[in-house]
Amino acid sequence: MSLDQLDMRAGEGADLILRRATVLDPVAGIDAQHDVVVRDGKIAGLSPPGDAAAEDLEEIDARSLHAFPAFFDPHVHLRTPGQEHKEDIETGSRSAAAGGYCGVLAMANTEPPISTPADIEALRAGARAAASVRVGFLATVTSAMQGEELTEMASLREAGALGFSDDGLPIRSARVLRRALQYQRLCGGAIALHEEDSDLSGAGVMHEGPVSAVLGLEGIPPVSESTMIARDAALAGYEGGRIHVQHLSAAESVEAVRAAKAAGVQISCEASPHHLCLTDEAVRSLDPHRFKMNPPLRSESDRQALIEGLRDGTIECVATDHAPHAAEEKEVPFEAAAMGVTGLETAFAALHTELVIPGAIELSLLVERMAGGAAPFEIERPSLTPGSEANIALCDLGAEWTVGEDGYESRSSNSWCGGKKLTGRVLMTLAGGQVAYRLRSFSLGVAA
Ligand SMILES: [Zn+2]
Ligand SMILES: [Zn+2]
C-alpha cells in the first residue's frame, strides 16, 4: 500500500525549496547536491544547485544540510487508549516528527488492548484529528492479549489494521501462533513478534552475564529470545506465513534469523538504537530511566553481531520501540522499575554519532535502514524521487546538541540518551507533504 493510506491530520501541502541540499536517497540512487522543489506537498523536482526558480516558494538555505527520505518506525508505543499521561497520538507523532520520521506503526498493548475493529476505527479517527506524521495501527494477535483466542483478524484487516502483534508479551502457545499464521494467509498483514520464553526470562531484569552477577540482579539469558525465534521461524516456514521479529538483542537471535532466511522462511526483523549503541555495562549505573528495557541491553559481542546483521541485511530496519513511561514508574529501585525507553527524537542522531562517525557503518546504510521498517508491513517506503509525496528529513550532520536540554516533544522523558551529547540533528521534517516539524532555533534563511 502507499504511504498516504496511513492516517494523519489534514493540512496544507508544503511549498518550498531546499536550496543546495545534499540529497541522499540510497534506494532511489540519488546522492548529489540539488535544489529540492516541493510544491503542494509533492516533490516537484530536483534541480541543479541554485537553478530552481523561487517564484512563490519559501526558500530554505540548505547548503550545509542533508535531505534524506524521512524515516519510518514500525514499532512505537503511543499509549492510547488508557495511558495518556505517558503519551498520546498528538505528542507521540510530534516526537516522531522531531526525529525525522514521516510514519510510525503503533503497538496494540494499550489499556485495553486493541482487539476489535471498533478499536482500530477509533484510533484511526484519532490520527486524522491529531497526528502530525502518518500513523498506522496494529491489532493484537490474541483477544485482549490473553494468549488464547485469536482476534477476528479478517475484520480487523478490513477496519485498517496494518498487522498484528501482542508486543509486550510473547505468544507462548505454538498452537495459537500456528493458527494465526493460517489466518494470515487468508487476510494478510505481518505478524510482529516479541520473542521471549517467559520461563527462561523468569524474574530477570537485565542481561544474564558477568555484570548481572556482580550486581546481584537476576538475568535474562539470550536463549530466552533466540529459541523462540527458531520456534516461530519453523512455524512460519511450515505454514507459509510471514513474521516480523521485533527488537532483536542477541547474537544467537541474529544467527537464528539468518538461518531462517537462508531456509526460505518469510521473516524480517528490526533492531533498536539502544541495542546497537549500548551494552549491559551501562546497567552498572543502576539507572532505570535510561537502561532498563525488555529485551535488555546485552554484551559487546551481541552488539557487534547486531551491527553485522544491519550491515549484511539480516536486519532490514531500525525500530525505536519508543516506550514512554511516567517518572513515578522509573523513580524506584532498578528491579522494580518499568521496562522501556523513549527513542524517536534521538534515533538518527544516536546512530549517526555511535555508528556512522566511528566508521562502523556508512551513512547511506543508516539512511536506508531508518526507513526499512515500511516494507515488512507492505507499505511503500518514503522516496525523494520527483512525483513522490514530500517525506523529507532535513539534517545538519555537524550539529552538536545535548539530549533533553530543550525538553522533549514526547510527554515522557525516559530517553536512553538523556544528557548525552550527540552529533547530527534533524532541523526540519516534512511528513505526508506537510511541514511536520521545525527546530525552534532553525530560522528560515532566504538563500543568497
Ligand atoms: Zn517487545
Ligand atoms: Zn515494544
What does the pLDDT average to over 216-240?
Answer: 98
* pLDDT score recorded for residue 333: 93
Checking if the pLDDT of 409 tops 80, the result is yes
User: Rounded to the nearest whole angstrom, what is the distance from the C-alpha of residue 296 to the centroid of ligand 1?
Assistant: 10
Closest ligand to residue 169's CA: 1
CB-based neighbours (< 5 A) of ligand 2, an ion: 167, 321
Instruction: State the catalytic residue, choosing from 73, 167, 321, 396.
Output: 321
Q: Residue written as cell 511450515? A: 238
pLDDT digits (tens, 9 = 90+) for 302-342: 999 999 999 999 999 999 999 999 999 999 999 999 999 99
User: Rounded to the nearest whole angstrom, what is the distance from the C-alpha of residue 319 to the centroid of ligand 2?
Assistant: 9
User: Rounded to the nearest whole angstrom, what is the distance from the C-alpha of residue 100 to the centroid of ligand 2?
Assistant: 20
Checking if the pLDDT of 448 tops 80, the result is no
Closest ligand to residue 108's CA: 2
Checking if the pLDDT of 34 tops 50, the result is yes
Checking if the pLDDT of 143 tops 50, the result is yes
Q: Are 48 and 165 in contact (CB under 8 A)?
A: no
Q: Residue 217's closest CA among 231, 227, 207?
A: 207
Closest ligand to residue 109's CA: 2
Torsion over CA of 49, 51, 57 and 60, rounded to 10 degrees? 20
User: Rounded to the nearest whole angstrom, what is the distance from the C-alpha of residue 76 to the centroid of ligand 1?
Assistant: 10
DSSP code per residue over 26-55: TTTTEEEEEEEEEETTEEEEEESTTTS--T
Q: Reply yes or no on whether 167 is catalytic.
A: no
pLDDT higher at 20 or 55: 20
Find the distance separating the first CA and the last CA of the chain, reported in whole Å: 41
How far apart, in whole angstroms, are the C-alpha atoms of residue 421 and residue 446? 30
User: Rounded to the nearest whole angstrom, what is the distance from the C-alpha of residue 38 to the centroid of ligand 2?
Assistant: 34
Q: Residue 293's closest CA among 251, 323, 258, 317?
A: 323
pLDDT digits (tens, 9 = 90+) for 160-205: 999 999 999 999 999 999 999 999 999 999 999 999 999 999 999 9
* pLDDT score recorded for residue 444: 54
Closest ligand to residue 340's CA: 2
Q: Residue 269's closest CA among 253, 290, 252?
A: 253
Q: Are 247 and 309 in contact (CB under 8 A)?
A: no
State if pTM tops 0.85.
Answer: yes
Question: Which DSSP letter does residue 359 get?
Answer: T
User: Rounded to the nearest whole angstrom, what is the distance from the C-alpha of residue 199 to the centroid of ligand 2?
Assistant: 19
What does the pLDDT average to over 24-39?
Answer: 98
What does the pLDDT average to over 118-139?
Answer: 98
Residues 6+ apart with CB under 8 A from 229: 193, 195, 245, 253, 256, 257, 260
Checking if the pLDDT of 226 tops 50, the result is yes
What are residue 427's phi and psi, to 5 degrees? -95, -30
